[in-house]
Amino acid sequence: MDMEFSPEDLAFQQEVRQFIAENYPAELRGKQDEGEELSKEDFLAWHKILHKKGWIAPAWPVEYGGTGWTPTQRFIWSEETARADCIRLMPFGLAMVGPVIYSFGTPEQKAHFLPRILSGEDWWCQGYSEPGSGSDLASLRTTAVRANDSGGDDYIVNGQKTWTTLAQHADWGFFLVRTDKDAKQQEGISFLLIDMKSPGITVRPIITLGGEHEVNEVWLEDVRVPVSQRVYEENKGWTCAKFLLAHERTGIAGVAASKRGIEKVKDIARTELDGDKPLIANAFFKRKLAELEVDLTALEFTELRSLAGANAGKGPGPESSLLKIKGSEIQQRLTELTLEAVGHYGAPYFRGFGEGDNEHPIGPDYAHRAAPTYFNMRKTTIYGGSNEIQRNIIAKMVLGL
Amino acid sequence: MDFTYTETQDMIRDTLARFLSDTYDFETRQKFINGDGGRDPAIWTALAQELGMLGAPFAEEHGGLGGGALENAIVMEELGKVIGIEPYLPTVVIAGGALKAVGGAQADAMIPEIIAGNAIVAFAYAEPQGRYDLANLRTTAKKDGAGYLLNGHKGVVYAAPWATHLLVTARTGGGQRDKDGVSLFLIDANLPGIVRRDYPTVDGSRASEIYFENVAIPGDALLGGEGAGLPLVEQIVDEATVAVCAEATGVMQKLHEGTLEYTQQRKQFGVPIAKFQVLQHRMVDMFMEVEQARSMTIMGTLKLGLPANERMAAVSAAKNKVARGANFVGQNAIQTHGGIGITQELAIGHYFKRATMIESQFGSADFHMDRYERITLAD
């Protein structure tokens, strides 16, 4: 057992660092530093650079456009991109529907959709949750009924989805719909790919506590979807859904991003004053920061152990719930410490840089998103299967209770 | 020992609660906090003139209801229940408290104006470098003939965009963090040389950065002794601190009630989620925090009249406990609601935002634990 990177890994690390240093868009960096709201084009700028380099989908099998990296190299990649504060790539295509399509899709679906996911040509959104189906996802009510007029080659979809992240930008959505009302809940669900420009789709914004427009309601009224856009068998969509949820959980630990987050809090605490000393000298604050760092180390090594398992060919198991629970709690504590660090300047509400609004925000730059981020990040213990559901999974699948 | 409220106190609570339930429903609140001025001035006028509520802690000879800190706590708790943004805290509790403490002609002139709803006072005490230390001041007031020249920058002054007057802490002597040399001034908010930058706050109020640029203020703006104002400032901030503890109690009660209600309506897996034991225990823990916040608010309020050290220890104990409770209750209210708790649409998220800002108002849990330790556990 050892925890050293091999010489090859170290060389790879250098290559990655150099690539980021030379290719990360300066304009994007500036917007991130200023806390500006990012446009669709901003999100895609880095995506397109990575696509050109062939590094856009490290987790994918090589035959579909993956990099062929080892899990350790992928770990290095995520560490380095977080360390350099690179923008997060949108997971809906790359980490979610992409793996579902290459694992369960038809040759035609693979040939059509996968290259467009890699290039960033299609922006995807996820149509899972419904107003009445959150933790109890399998109770979903959106229906897809075979249309009679077209000889059964279309579904007619009706229902409402919610919490659909960045659906306002989406070209395509992957939806869980009920195709058999009489079957047991999980057995009557199908997995559909739906063109978001289809007639009958309405996307309505949901504004969250920090003032962000990040999530949406998606209404589907008699939306016609060709049967050829169903992934896997009819009524077997739950298999795809479960596969995808496990995928969603593995990335969710967010170790690398939290490491970067701790460095940011330290920087703030070195700048903020507490009497005649920097805040980082305050015993209470220092203790909380240190505890957070210790907990993050515990998470990191738990993830590394799970990664070593993946190196040895084991897929992500129910222990990924542990990574999700601890990772999300750490992300939240980071935002809490940031808000605490900025003191009075957590209170001014900065609406963001609107059109023609160049007024500088109130207080230090690192302060003006502190409270909205704290509010917004309460989502991390709720989304992707709430932490209560994750604990149920561990109780059932790991402890056998 | 008697923890019951007097008839007058019950009447204040009932009258105010009834008024607020008629005028301050969540949708109405959202409408005016997002409007141009950020408030509905008619509500303040009604509080003063129809309800007499702004006179709650003032003596009858000034036209008040003859109450004190307990009456302030009652009003603040009711305002907390509707996440009210009315400037009762800076105007009545803080400026009113300072005026009551100094008495004399200044009190005689100003208190009736507050009671009548004509005066709104913002408390300009915090500075960008000062965190929660009341004596850490760069703002200066230099003697200039019979008056003073005021210079400096005050940060995050809640209610300043609405204020007719400002209550300002400034140095008339001493170094930046000295206990001596702090003075308190009550000045007209529109004097030449006062520059404001107004903005909304994350918890639905309005505040300003205030810059004083050679502002000439009259000598009689000084409240208390020149350079000897810190004990007075500490006293009014302690009064304000228990007042926000009272507000927090109202906010937390609503967070808890809203969560109870939601979990009984919301069904998942075929049952109301309130049936899940893990959520039941969480809501029991929230309930216990609300009860203890109420207890600590009463404790702190009753001890406001003690000698400074005992008063400070009591207030810090209260604020520490309430801050931790507000954190726990707020976070768990959101978690238990799930995604819907994070939307602007539902009231619950707005209660959470106010609970969050109360946590650090007049000092975070850590700040107050530190002050408590220094007073009670000195070796």
The range of the structural domain enclosing residue A42 comes to 7-89
DSSP B64-131: S-S--HHHHHHHHHHHHHTT---THIIIIIIIHHHHHHH-HHHHHHHHHHHHTT---EEEE---TTTT
Helix residue ranges per DSSP H, B143-229: none
Q: How far is A345 from chain B (nearest CA, A)?
A: 7
Looking at chain B, which residues constitute the CATH 1.20.140.10 domain(s)? Answer: 231-376
Do A130 and A84 belong together in one domain?
no
**Given an 8 Å threshold on Cβ–Cβ distance, is A134 in contact with B132?**
no
Residue at A318 is within a domain: yes
What's the CATH architecture for B231-376?
Up-down Bundle (1.20)
The Cβ-side half-sphere exposure at B72, using a 13 Å CA radius, reads 30
Q: Which residues of B touch A285 (CB under 8 A)?
A: 366
Share of chain A above pLDDT 70, in %: 93
Q: Which residues of B touch A139 (CB under 8 A)?
A: 268-269
Q: How far is B200 from chain A (nearest CA, A)?
A: 5
Strands B206-217 and B194-200: antiparallel
Please check the confidence at residue A356 and state whether its pLDDT lies above 50: no
Do A265 and A327 belong together in one domain?
yes
pLDDT given at position A74: 87
Residues paired with residue B147 on neighbouring β-strands, in sequence order? B144
**Rounded CA separation B256/B234 (Å):** 32
Active-site annotation of A, residues: 248
Q: Which of B268, B343, B366 has its CB closest to that of A284? A: B366
Which CATH code fits B7-119?
Answer: 1.10.540.10
**Given an 8 Å threshold on Cβ–Cβ distance, is B360 in contact with A346?**
yes
Q: What is the pLDDT of residues B322-346, one digit of tens each?
A: 999 999 999 999 999 999 999 999 9
Mutate to test the interface with B, among A359, A378, A396 (most CBs of B within 10 A): A378
What totals of helices (H) and strands (E) does chain B contain, helices first?
12, 10
**How many CB atoms neighbour CB A8 within 10 A?**
11
**Rounded CA separation A388/B282 (Å):** 12
Mutate to test the interface with B, among A185, A344, A387 (most CBs of B within 10 A): A344
Do A364 and A332 belong together in one domain?
yes
Mutate to test the interface with B, among A382, A386, A387 (most CBs of B within 10 A): A382
Instruction: Name the average pLDDT for chain A.
Output: 91
Do A382 and A264 belong together in one domain?
yes
Do A153 and A286 belong together in one domain?
no
Any A CB within 8 A of B342 CB: yes
The amino acid that residue B34 corresponds to is: N
Question: Do the beta carbons of residue B161 and residue B208 sit within 8 Å?
Answer: yes
pLDDT given at position A38: 83
Do A202 and A263 belong together in one domain?
no
Please check the confidence at residue B248 and state whether its pLDDT lies above 60: yes
**Given an 8 Å threshold on Cβ–Cβ distance, is A339 in contact with B366?**
no
Helix (H) or strand (E) holding B31, with range, is: helix B26-33
**Rounded CA separation B46/B52 (Å):** 8
pTM: predicted TM-score of the whole model, two decimal places: 0.95
**Given an 8 Å threshold on Cβ–Cβ distance, is B338 in contact with A378?**
no
pLDDT given at position A316: 61
Total residue count of chain B as it appears in this document? 379
Q: How far is A138 from chain B (nearest CA, A)?
A: 9
Question: Do the beta carbons of residue B153 and residue B197 sit within 8 Å?
Answer: no
Do A223 and A263 belong together in one domain?
no
Q: What is the pLDDT of residues B26-43, one digit of tens each?
A: 999 999 999 999 999 999
**Rounded CA separation A334/A295 (Å):** 12
pLDDT given at position A355: 47
Residues 6+ apart with CB under 8 A from A361: A35, A348, A350, A368
Looking at chain B, which residues constitute the CATH 1.10.540.10 domain(s)? Answer: 7-119
Question: Do the beta carbons of residue A110 and residue A61 sit within 8 Å?
Answer: no
Question: Do the beta carbons of residue A67 and residue A54 sit within 8 Å?
Answer: yes
Q: What is the pLDDT of residues A6-62, one digit of tens each?
A: 999 999 999 999 999 999 998 898 887 777 778 899 999 999 999 999 999 998 999
pLDDT given at position A295: 98
Looking at chain B, which residues constitute the CATH 2.40.110.10 domain(s)? Answer: 123-228
Residue at A106 is within a domain: no
Do A286 and A393 belong together in one domain?
yes
**Rounded CA separation B82/B96 (Å):** 23
Q: Minimal CA–CA distance to B340: which of A132, A170, A321, A245?
A: A132
Do A257 and A388 belong together in one domain?
yes
**Rounded CA separation B177/B132 (Å):** 12
Q: Which residues of B touch A272 (CB under 8 A)?
A: 131
**How many CB atoms neighbour CB A25 within 10 A?**
15
CATH number for position A146: 2.40.110.10
Strands A124-127 and A189-195: unpaired
Helix (H) or strand (E) holding B200, with range, is: strand B194-200
Any A CB within 8 A of B376 CB: no
Please check the confidence at residue A1 and state whether its pLDDT lies above 80: no
**Given an 8 Å threshold on Cβ–Cβ distance, is A132 in contact with B267?**
yes
CATH number for position A305: 1.20.140.10
Helix (H) or strand (E) holding B260, with range, is: helix B230-265
Question: Do the beta carbons of residue B364 and residue A274 sit within 8 Å?
Answer: no
Instruction: Indicate the Cα dihedral angle B295, B296, B298, B300, nearest 10°.
Output: 160
Please check the confidence at residue B119 and state whether its pLDDT lies above 90: yes
Q: Which of A272, A349, A382 has its CB closest to that of B199? A: A349
Which CATH code fits B123-228?
Answer: 2.40.110.10
